[in-house]
Structure 1
Amino acid sequence: MIVDEEQKKEEKSKKLFADLCECYLLLNGTFSSELFSICIFCLLKVALKKEENEETQKGVEMALLALSKIIAWNEMGQELFLNAIKEIMKYHQKHHNLTRLAYQSAWQFLINRLSYEKSLEGVIVNELHFVREARKELEELAKSVDWKRKAEENERRGKERKEEFVLLRLLQTCGSYFLYCNLWNEEFAGLIDDIVQALKVSKDNYRETFKECIYSLKAAADNRAVKIDFLVKGGAVDAILEEIQQQTMDDKLTLECTRFFESISSRLKE
């Protein structure tokens, strides 16, 4: 159906074409090289739209969400995506036209490429300023969540629940950044501090957010570019040590905390 719709080149079929590409990326685990390129070109074209009406904004959000599902092992040439995704991000940084979910999805799509495209490190760190943008988003999202209210109570509060979902995805993106990016920037320390703060406020009522903070800090501990002092002196070690002493931890979280301390120990020995 995607191939058929692409060949029509008709204005009326563009919405169906984009919908099919989104479904293909969101639902499929593997991609054919032909359809892969077709879908990326289609959805980046949708994501480049700058009209501020609700329908366009929703279309942009869905296109970027679908693109963010292309995980790290999908190798692609930079000519497929780089200029377009840079334009999308820089325009948003100037005009704030994207939803938070759309902006976070754009970052996830780009950072997923780092496992194959190491040359993107300079673009992400020095040109698009991921750490600066992530810190700003974390701060704003943290303000929108009532940390004293139990997470299940938020099922009735749609907007706050959505903000929590975007916060979770942003923490996942930070974890991917720490995992793949080895270009040190002094702003790293501030981002680690922000994640530690999110870990502390989420531990009682927002366990999914708390767990994602642990995973991100573990990725930072494994990254040789991250200076160990920022993890030891920044409070990450104390916060996770306090948690690992609790009797109610699940096995997966216990394992992740233990691995965090193994990484810290190994780095300190060096």
Structure 2
Amino acid sequence: MSLSDDDISEDETLTTARTEQFSKLFCELEDCREDEQMQKIKEMNGLIDEMDEEEFESIFTIELFDTIYRMIEEKTLSWRNATLLLKHVGCCKVLKKIELFSFDDSLLSERMKEMIIDENEKKKEEKNEKHLIDLCECYLLLNRWPSSEMDSIYVPCLLKVALKKDETEEAQKEVEMALLALSNIGNWEIEQELYLNEITEIIRYHQEHHNLTRLAYQSAWQFLIKRFYWDKSLEEVIVNELHFSKEAARELEDLSKSVDWKRKEEEKGEREAKNVLVIERWFDVIYEFLYSNTLWNEELAGLINCIVQVLRASRGNHKDIRNGCLDSLRCASEKRDMEIDDMLKSGAVDAVLEEMNQSTLGDDILWNCLIFFLNISERLNEKKDDEKEASKRKLIKRKMFEKMEEEGFEDSVFRLCHCKLMGKDYYSLMFRPFNFLFFF
């Protein structure tokens, strides 16, 4: 349904009102007492919650971060209040998946980096642990690419916070913030002695006592799975000791029960909207896990089944989750050790065919679907000694392509298959999804 001119005008007016109100409050900070500053920052944080990506990027420029740096240096803005603002900005940036590069290039980023190093080098009796924690969280949440040179500082610092077992609301918020910040570290290799025992203890303790929030638990896994990308020795811990597939499936099932999938995202309440964000983040982790993992087992088959259920439930009003499901299924179909029977039993083939029948099919979704069917087709072609099983697979493949022929997509898959047979790299076309349709 298209928006009317009145709707667009009203939306633009609200956007302008938010950004202007934020700028007005920000300009007033220098002339306020600390308690008044805090109140204004709380109002500003409320406005940030309502901002979309375009508004967010228009406000949080290098110039604004440099101004905050100047205000802190001139002591017209206290670190306490600056932290209240900056942590909230960082959280919104991470949860809304906003690609904000302005902080990385700001004077404030460099100054924070220096302060983290300086505070860490102080003697134990002189060190302000709370200040160091705040600096590490702000730096990690706001940076697009946090410096890997300081892993030995902020990883142990924030894991110490995350190891708290107090289940009070305040403690849970502190743990959630620390783990969310750690989850924003890129997927580079970190020495195991800096994190493995601690993050393993955090995950295991939650599995027994359920002391973490949904977001905190997801963030703990996100931090660990990012290490898996470079360090394949983690596979035994992740798969067989901590049971990632089983845990991810359980979390998705529980979170799905709290979401009214028929309700549009803008109509959801605050708690339901947060659960949707956590589901989206789980699919980021699941994709990275599937990409790095080499072990196919019963628990992974259960996760695939859960992904199919979420795909069907999210169809219509939750594009990001739908894309996450299809990314994951396509990635799973590419695994050498993928069990085709598990994929068939999960209903993945039917679910992906149903996606291709949607009128809102986009280039990225079509690409995932076509690669998925190419991979499934290849596995169905594998020779089986059991004639009954071979006949069954042949029937499945025929039905699959008959369905695709009905929808008009069989030629696309044929061209992809031909590309592969001719030794052409169809993955290099991933960022130009429809080029393969006209390859020959």
Tell me, in whole angstroms, the C-alpha distance in 1 between the residues paired with 2:204 and 2:345.
34
8 Å contact from structure 1 (residues 221, 263) kept in 2: yes
Residue identity (%): 57
CA pair 71-226 structure 1, distance change in 2 beyond 3 A: farther
Gaps of 5+ in 2: 1-114, 383-440
Tell me, in whole angstroms, the C-alpha distance in 1 between the residues paired with 2:267 and 2:146.
39
8 Å contact from structure 2 (residues 228, 234) kept in 1: yes
CA displacement at 1:241 relative to structure 2: 1.1
CA displacement at 1:66 relative to structure 2: 1.2
Tell me, in whole angstroms, the C-alpha distance in 2 between the residues paired with 1:31 and 1:139.
33
CA pair 14-245 structure 1, distance change in 2 beyond 3 A: same
CA displacement at 1:138 relative to structure 2: 1.2
- Residue 205 (structure 1) aligned to one of 317, 326, 331: 317
8 Å contact from structure 2 (residues 179, 219) kept in 1: yes
8 Å contact from structure 1 (residues 122, 183) kept in 2: no
Structure-2 residue corresponding to 1:140: 254
CA displacement at 1:10 relative to structure 2: 5.0
Letter in 2 for 1:55: E
1:49 aligned onto 2:143: no
Corresponding residue SS for 1:97? coil
Structure-1 residue corresponding to 2:173: 58
Moved more, 195-204 or 226-235: 226-235
- Residue 199 (structure 2) aligned to one of 85, 105, 109: 85
Structure-2 residue corresponding to 1:214: 326
Structure-2 residue corresponding to 1:118: 232
Structure-2 residue corresponding to 1:231: 343
Deviations 1:93-125 (A, max 9, x none): 111110010001111111111121111111011
Tell me, in whole angstroms, the C-alpha distance in 2 between the residues paired with 1:211 and 1:116.
25
CA displacement at 1:129 relative to structure 2: 1.2
8 Å contact from structure 1 (residues 218, 259) kept in 2: yes
Gaps of 5+ in 1: none
Corresponding residue SS for 1:116? coil
CA displacement at 1:152 relative to structure 2: 1.9
Letter in 2 for 1:97: N
1:131 aligned onto 2:245: yes
| TM-score, normalization by structure 2 | 0.58
Tell me, in whole angstroms, the C-alpha distance in 2 between the residues paired with 1:108 and 1:50.
20
- Residue 76 (structure 1) aligned to one of 176, 190, 205: 190
CA displacement at 1:246 relative to structure 2: 2.6
8 Å contact from structure 1 (residues 125, 185) kept in 2: no
Corresponding residue SS for 1:187? helix
| RMSD of aligned residue pairs (Cα, Å) | 1.7
Aligned residue pairs total 267
* Structure having the higher Rg: 2
Structure 2 counterparts to residues 183-194 of structure 1, below 5 A: 183-194=295-306
After the TM superposition, which segments of 4 or more aligned residues of structure 1 sit over 4 Å from their partners? none
Tell me, in whole angstroms, the C-alpha distance in 2 between the residues paired with 1:269 and 1:67.
44
Letter in 2 for 1:205: N
Letter in 1 for 2:200: K
1:175 aligned onto 2:287: yes
Corresponding residue SS for 2:337? coil
Tell me, in whole angstroms, the C-alpha distance in 1 between the residues paired with 2:146 and 2:206.
29
